[in-house]
Amino acid sequence: MAQVVNVNFKLDEDVKKSMEQVCNELGLSMSAAFSIFARKVGREKRIPFEVSVDPFYSEENMARLKKAIQDLDEGKGTVHEVNYE
């Protein structure tokens, strides 16, 4: 069997807690989950899921949101109520 090495990295606390919860539900340790991920990356030579940028944070959308806030501050915008029921 190959030599086992330690790998250290940082995660946001909420991301870690969320992952721990899912791993517990699956009956896996976080170490086992990361090992599965690493093996899949090594075997497929790619990230095994789609990685994309959230379009909400695009420069175009941020500019649109800033303009909308400015319009509201200047009394030019319309406030809409949203009913989630």
What would the pLDDT profile of 44-66 be if each residue is shown by its tens digit? 999 999 888 888 888 999 999 99
Q: How far apart are CA 35 and CA 37, in angstroms?
A: 5
Contact 15, 23 (CB under 8 A): no
Angle in degrees, CA 19, 20, 23, rounded to 5: 85
Phi/psi for 66 (5° steps) reads -60, -40
Of the candidates 46, 48, 44, which has an alpha carbon nearest to the alpha carbon of residue 33?
48
Q: What pLDDT is attached to residue 44?
A: 96
pLDDT digits (tens, 9 = 90+) for 14-34: 999 999 999 999 999 999 999
- Residue 17: its pLDDT value, please? 96
